[in-house]
């Protein structure tokens, strides 16, 4: 398979995987939202309430702050394999932590401060606390605009690979599918100072530009995601 054909096939497959991921998470996973310092959990219609998964992938959706309706997927993440049972605590750290513990918070803050160069420059500095006013605005944005679902995976040694594959699939689908491109209108991340976030339309910067180097790797990508999105 020629390189151009491989990349075209990967783009088409990424859109398919995006749709499988969306259907799986919205149809089978509890959805977590936050307000007034508390987490609220909604279970799929017809499903029995159960505990949140301890290990796996989290999937963040853009949500309408007025209706709560879920929109497109805007971030994929996981927890460190060396931190078993750490999935939920990792999600909570994005909503209640600081920019130095959450790249998501850093990107959201950078987007909020895009029109304030001095404040943005200070916010970008690593390992220096962000100003409390901006941290509060970041938290409020996440509360208003983000809902979280999950893909449970108990096998810790595959988390990083599955995360990489899902990030690349969601990123490529977001710039390839006309419907998803249209849904980016008005999204805060369009103003992010990180060019990868602004270009690909999700709150990730790692793995966004990954693609299979040959047909064998493409087949592995499909086989791996099919296993966890079935």
pTM: 0.96
Q: Determine the Cα–Cα distance for residues 230 and 225; give it in Å rounded to an integer.
A: 8
Contact indicator for 192, 107 with CB cutoff of 8 Å = yes
- pLDDT, one tens digit per residue, over 148-175 is 999 999 999 999 999 999 999 999 999 9
The mean pLDDT value for 120-137 works out to 93
Neighbours of 54 (CB within 10 A): 15
- pLDDT, one tens digit per residue, over 184-216 is 999 999 999 999 999 999 999 999 999 999 999
H and E: helices and strands count for the chain? 9, 5
Within the chain, strands assigned E span: 31-35, 38-42, 56-63, 70-78, 146-152
The mean pLDDT value for 84-108 works out to 95
DSSP three-state, residue 140 = helix
């Amino acid at each position: 398979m020629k390189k151009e054909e491989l990349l075209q096939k990967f783009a088409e497959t990424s859109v398919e995987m995006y749709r499988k991921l969306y259907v799986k998470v919205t149809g089978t996973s509890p959805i977590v939202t936050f307000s007034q310092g508390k987490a609220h959990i909604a279970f799929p219609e017809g499903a029995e309430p159960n505990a949140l998964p301890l290990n796996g992938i989290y999937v963040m959706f853009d949500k309408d702050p007025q209706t709560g309706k879920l929109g497109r997927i805007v971030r994929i993440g996981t927890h460190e394999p060396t931190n078993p049972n750490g999935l939920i605590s990792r999600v909570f750290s994005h909503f209640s932590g600081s920019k130095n513990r959450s790249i998501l918070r850093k990107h959201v803050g950078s987007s909020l401060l895009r029109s304030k160069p001095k404040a943005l420059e200070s916010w970008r500095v690593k390992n220096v606390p962000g100003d409390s006013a901006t941290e509060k605005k970041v938290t409020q944005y996440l509360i208003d605009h983000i809902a979280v679902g999950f893909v449970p995976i108990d096998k810790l040694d595959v988390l990083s690979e599955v995360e990489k594959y899902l990030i690349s699939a969601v990123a490529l689908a977001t710039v390839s599918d006309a419907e998803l491109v249209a849904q980016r209108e008005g999204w805060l991340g369009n103003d992010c100072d990180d060019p990868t976030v602004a270009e690909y339309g999700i709150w990730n910067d790692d793995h966004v530009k990954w693609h299979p180097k040959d047909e064998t790797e493409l087949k592995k990508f499909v086989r791996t995601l099919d296993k966890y999105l079935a």
